[in-house]
Structure 1
Amino acid sequence: MAGAPVKFGTILSFCVLFYAVYFRRNDVGDIRLSPVKDQLLNLESNNKVAIGNLQPKVALGYGACHDLFVNATQLLNFNELKGTPEHFNEISNKEEFLKSFAYFFKHGAAAERFMSNSELYDELIEKALKLHDTRWAIGGNAPLMAKRFFMEGWKVLFAAKMSQKLKSYIPNDIQIVGDEMNEEVKDDIHMILEYKADEIFGSYKAPRANRYIVHNDENNPLLSSLEKFGETLPKFNPNLLVISGLQMMDNYPFKREGHQDLRAERLKLVKEQILSQPATTLTHFEMASYVDLELLLHLTSKVLPYVDSVGMNEQELTNLCSILEHGEVSIVADSNPRVATALDQMRKIFHLIREKNKIHGSNRILTRIHVHTLAYQAILTVKNSNWKRTEAAAAKASLTAHRYVCNNQNIALDKSKLLLDDSFSTTTDNENNSRVFFEPSKPVSCWDEVVHRESVEICVAPVLICTEAQLTAGAGDNISAAGLVLQIEK
């Protein structure tokens, strides 16, 4: 296949690498941009699904919210920061809030935290609403992914308790289940503190554009739409079930009734909902920012062993790898990891979840992993599994990353850059010097290899990074959904 790893070190490979680097650096701009754009668009247009009556069906759970987008450095005053940046699992006062924000800001890392102090949260919302460029939008993994699937021509069902006002953000043809007839619902609000690459917060500079999310949810942590969703699933009969939004349970103060662990009970019901689906329904779990060790351990026994696919960003990749291998939480990771590092972590996760498939006697086994980073998309699928068109899926995910962040359907080369080098190692293993050469005329590199005694295909696509970011929150949801869109056969 194109882009298959080659052994690095021959005179020919050295010359190719030298020529590519020299040619690119001696041009006014990056000459790779135009052919990369053209070929990614070709892959997307030549691999359409959801045409005519061939509409796949997707069901997504759980939850929704109002997102309040705020310019982080306008809302927060660096002079109020006392001491050095620090990580906290949950936020109980303003000092912790400022330290936590600064900690992730200086790393350019995405984060999501529960604020247990309702009074402080309300004050922050009130202050944010006074800023001139604050805006409202619908939020939550399920509705954002649902809208992306709908845009791509799928039939969509998703589960959330929502007010009529929040439902107005959703296209009418998307089916929503969760609340009772005429039930008054108070929507949860998430505050999205956005910042751009190189933005300054006191003595700190952001290495990349990202967002810090804080919430004080009452509805979403309980997965309050789960039962209604379960009643509707058999009739809808989806081709794909997406499990998301479970991070709302992270550090939420669940009340214990005697010896009953309400969170564990709710996750047990999620597991039963997955298991109730026919073998023809593929299942995908969308990772998120988790710091609660107990919750992560629940996920490794009640969710991950029972899904066909997992999607995540680079921070979540490192965290999932750490929890599966060492039983420890990883708070922050490299915001732009080497391809080799990410691929090694994907292989490790594949191996460890496959082991959990056996331990838990699951009738489903992991056959797909999608990792999206600032610089590239990486998708691993098992050969001859039910996942199709991996190369095109990586291309579509890459294009969606640019379109969403730039908030424009057109790919503008003057607002694009590539961070992917002219070649990359496929592993950090010093004894394996295989390397892939990046060809702008065939930008998605795919190859076959054996991982955990299973033949897999791995595809890596460069991202035409949007240099004028308009949106950051929700990018991962749109990218993950776009990657799934082309991989399901109706």
Structure 2
Amino acid sequence: MAGTPIKLGSVLSFCIVLYAVYYRKNDIGDVRLYPMREQLLILESQNQVGSGNFQPKVALGYGACHDIFVNATLLLNHRDLKGEPEHFSEIKSKEELVKSFAYFFKHGAAAERFVSNSKLYDDIVERALKLEGSRWSIGGNAPLMAKRFYMEGWKVLLAGKMSSKLKSYIPKEIKIVGADANEKVKDDIHMILEYKADETFGGLKASRANRYIIHNDLNNPLLSSLERFDEHLPQFNPDLLVISDLRADRLKLVKKQILSQPLETLVHFEMASYVDLELLLHLESKVLPYVDSVGMNEQELTNLHNLLLYGNVSYVADSNPRVATALDQMRKTFQMIRLKNKEHNSNRKVTRIHVHTLAYQAILTVKDSNWKRTAAATAKASLTAHRYVCNAPTISLEKSKLLLDDSFATTTENDNNSRVFLEPTKPVACWDETLDGDKVEICVAPVLICTEAQLTAGAGDNISAAGLVLQIQK
């Protein structure tokens, strides 16, 4: 890596950090929280999206589903865990389900798995609906991101086949395309098994709040809304095209749809918990070389990094990686996708990567590209993480904590000679680097982590959308 600056901060900032450490040790509370919240809110308020004739437009595909939210440790019995927790790429039996859940639970890692046994899945759904606290909502990357864009003032076109009941969860101002007028649609159902930090499952203890998702999809794997979406895109003429919820068998059509967009329409790909190596290899050749931006969490970053560098899949990753580790993986992923751009003679080059973790947001953008206001976008992503997980519009300091230390290394490669001090009055740290001849800006913002999590599934979609909201210049 070239061009990483040494950012040691001022003597005054260093004194503030020492002051904060002293008071935290005396249990008066983390004094960094208040100034950080205020400065993040100022950055957000100073950067609003346009409206009217200047209202940005986003098109999102493909797919939607019903989500059932349920308490994981109420639904599953730890006594059914026979032997050690174990990873499975596909769930065929109750024993595999319990082992797979326990495998990710003990790491506090998010995961999503296909249940190929339809009767098993139907039985689990029936049992889940009888549990106290279970609830319905709309699911799928595209619909959740669509709702966030709409909330933030964008004009939205959404591709997805869904029933009238499922459409009722979507604001009426969002245009939905996918099903024929009189077509009866049976919605896919995803089950969100949620758990909180420090919750136990037998002898296992979760290191953080997270979720384990299972499904038995029929519509989404077919990307059945793709053709209808294709018909509406030219007239809609979006500023941004977001693609997610992808499956291997129709990626040629997805590639064709991306290639048909004018270069002025920026294309963002939202990663998911893909573990099928064949699908990932298809994504590597048919999607990644043709997008401008990629968004992902820490698990998905490690998975994509390992795929591009080693050609294999990472089933679980550190649920709270060091900033330096994540930034090194971001840089390498950026460079490897750039190689894919050249290998496939793509007219597009990746110019943006957003990684969202429990503790921080990190956005890398190429300088002088079409992506603007990176610092403000990083701040907005951080604030959205707290608001969504707490399910509240305000940032409550009583329900907040910081996991980031007072400084962090920007890379693991130079013996901590390059550190950024986390200044409470300037919480978004940005600096310039040069990667393979490209000048890039990297911004990192701490997350005021919600300590009373109300929602976990869908957090990444809302955070990614919030990060994109401010980066289109309008």
**TM-score under structure 1 length normalisation:** 0.94
Distance in 2 of aligned mates of 1:47 and 1:7: 26
Distance in 2 of aligned mates of 1:323 and 1:335: 19
Distance in 1 of aligned mates of 2:168 and 2:61: 18
Change (3 A) 1:315 1:152: same
2:169 maps to 1:166: no
| Map of 2:467 onto structure 1 | 483
Amino acid at match of 1:145: M
| Map of 1:75 onto structure 2 | 75
SS of 1:53 mapped into structure 2: helix
Distance in 1 of aligned mates of 2:156 and 2:30: 40
Matches within 5 A, 1:329-408: 329-408=313-392
Distance in 2 of aligned mates of 1:354 and 1:158: 29
| Map of 2:209 onto structure 1 | 209
CA positional deviation for 1:132: 1.4
Change (3 A) 1:118 1:419: same
Matches within 5 A, 1:89-238: 89-238=89-238
CA positional deviation for 1:17: 5.7
Distance in 2 of aligned mates of 1:431 and 1:242: 38
**1:217-245: CA deviation from partner (whole Å, max 9, x where unpaired):** 00000100000001110000000000111
Distance in 2 of aligned mates of 1:14 and 1:403: 30
SS of 1:267 mapped into structure 2: helix
| Map of 1:63 onto structure 2 | 63
Amino acid at match of 1:233: L
| Map of 1:466 onto structure 2 | 450
SS of 1:476 mapped into structure 2: helix
Distance in 1 of aligned mates of 2:149 and 2:11: 47
| 1:63/1:245 contact within 8 Å kept | yes
CA positional deviation for 1:22: 2.8
| Map of 1:36 onto structure 2 | 36
Matches within 5 A, 1:397-476: 397-431=381-415, 433-476=417-460
| 2:196/2:208 contact within 8 Å kept | yes
Q: Count residues in correspondence.
A: 471
Distance in 2 of aligned mates of 1:457 and 1:29: 33
CA positional deviation for 1:433: 1.4
Distance in 2 of aligned mates of 1:21 and 1:417: 14
Change (3 A) 1:7 1:441: closer
Distance in 2 of aligned mates of 1:204 and 1:26: 32
| Map of 1:252 onto structure 2 | none
Q: Identity rate of aligned residues, in percent?
A: 77
**1:431-462: CA deviation from partner (whole Å, max 9, x where unpaired):** 56100000010100000111121100000000
Change (3 A) 1:45 1:15: closer
Distance in 2 of aligned mates of 1:451 and 1:13: 29
| 1:403/1:410 contact within 8 Å kept | yes
Q: What are structure 1's unaligned runs of at least 5 residues?
A: 250-262
Distance in 1 of aligned mates of 2:24 and 2:133: 39
SS of 2:313 mapped into structure 1: coil
Distance in 2 of aligned mates of 1:323 and 1:25: 42
Distance in 2 of aligned mates of 1:432 and 1:382: 24
**1:145-169: CA deviation from partner (whole Å, max 9, x where unpaired):** 0000000010000100000110111
SS of 2:48 mapped into structure 1: coil
Bigger shift: 17-26 or 126-135?
A: 17-26
Distance in 2 of aligned mates of 1:45 and 1:21: 29
**1:403-454: CA deviation from partner (whole Å, max 9, x where unpaired):** 0000000111000001111000000003561000000101000001111211
Residue 285 of structure 1, aligned match among 266, 269, 281 = 269
CA positional deviation for 1:175: 0.3
SS of 2:432 mapped into structure 1: strand
CA positional deviation for 1:81: 1.0
**1:214-271: CA deviation from partner (whole Å, max 9, x where unpaired):** 000000001000000011100000000001111xx3xxxxxxxxxxxxx44x101100
| 1:211/1:472 contact within 8 Å kept | yes
Amino acid at match of 2:323: V
Distance in 1 of aligned mates of 2:10 and 2:33: 28
| 1:196/1:469 contact within 8 Å kept | yes
Amino acid at match of 2:326: A
| 1:69/1:136 contact within 8 Å kept | yes
SS of 1:133 mapped into structure 2: coil
Distance in 2 of aligned mates of 1:17 and 1:167: 49
| 2:7/2:421 contact within 8 Å kept | no
Amino acid at match of 2:433: E
Distance in 1 of aligned mates of 2:127 and 2:430: 49
Change (3 A) 1:397 1:7: closer
**TM-score under structure 2 length normalisation:** 0.97
SS of 1:107 mapped into structure 2: coil
SS of 1:268 mapped into structure 2: helix
Distance in 2 of aligned mates of 1:30 and 1:11: 20
Distance in 2 of aligned mates of 1:130 and 1:14: 55
SS of 1:457 mapped into structure 2: strand
2:306 maps to 1:322: yes
| 1:93/1:120 contact within 8 Å kept | yes
Distance in 2 of aligned mates of 1:300 and 1:20: 45
Distance in 1 of aligned mates of 2:132 and 2:87: 30
Amino acid at match of 1:184: K
CA positional deviation for 1:13: 9.2
Distance in 2 of aligned mates of 1:9 and 1:178: 52
